[in-house]
Structures are given as C-alpha cells and as structure tokens.
Amino acid sequence: MFGENQNTIGSMPMNIFHHFLEGININVIYLLGQHRMLYMNGVPELASNYDDTISSLKAKLDEWGVKDIYCAGAFTTGYAAVVYGLELQA
C-alpha cells in the first residue's frame, strides 16, 4: 500500500484504512513517500534508489513466501502503485 507522507491513503488516515483491512486474511506492507517523488527515488528504508528498492521488495516477498501481490495507492501514489506493481508482477 503506497501512502502519502502525512500517513494517509488518499485523504483517509492510514490507521482507519488499516481498520478496514483487519477482517481480511492478508498481510500489508505500507510504504510512505517522504519526498513527494512518486517513489521514483526508491524508499530510503529499503534502498537508496528505485532499482535497489524493487530488488529489496522482491527479496522480502520471496523470503516471506508471498505468492499474490497487489499494489494500491490513491491520487499520486496510485502512479507508484502501478509502476511498482508492474515491476513486482502484481
């Protein structure tokens, strides 16, 4: 789930969004864009650039045995969800 730098998914606070997901048997990774760069500079907590962030996410998903991947975002983070989703074969 791609979020905004103020801890929101679109205009919804992330904790409220997460509450809606509690009844579903899924694991969620929240990525927050801190610099309004549409995640094209990567996610600093994972890597220092886009390509290495994708590699880091792939390694984590492999390590956790994740088979089905869905990427989502709202507004500008929707773009990042599509781009990352293509790279991650979501």
Identify the residue with better confidence: 2 or 52. Answer: 52
pTM: 0.80
Q: Give pLDDT tens digits for 8-25.
A: 777 778 788 888 888 888
pLDDT of the residue at 5:
65
Instruction: Name the token pair of 74.
Output: 């709202």
pLDDT value at residue 64: 92
> Does the pLDDT at position 36 exceed 70?
no
Helix axes 50-63, 76-87, angle to 10 degrees: 60
CA distance 34 to 74: 15
Res 61 pLDDT > 90? yes
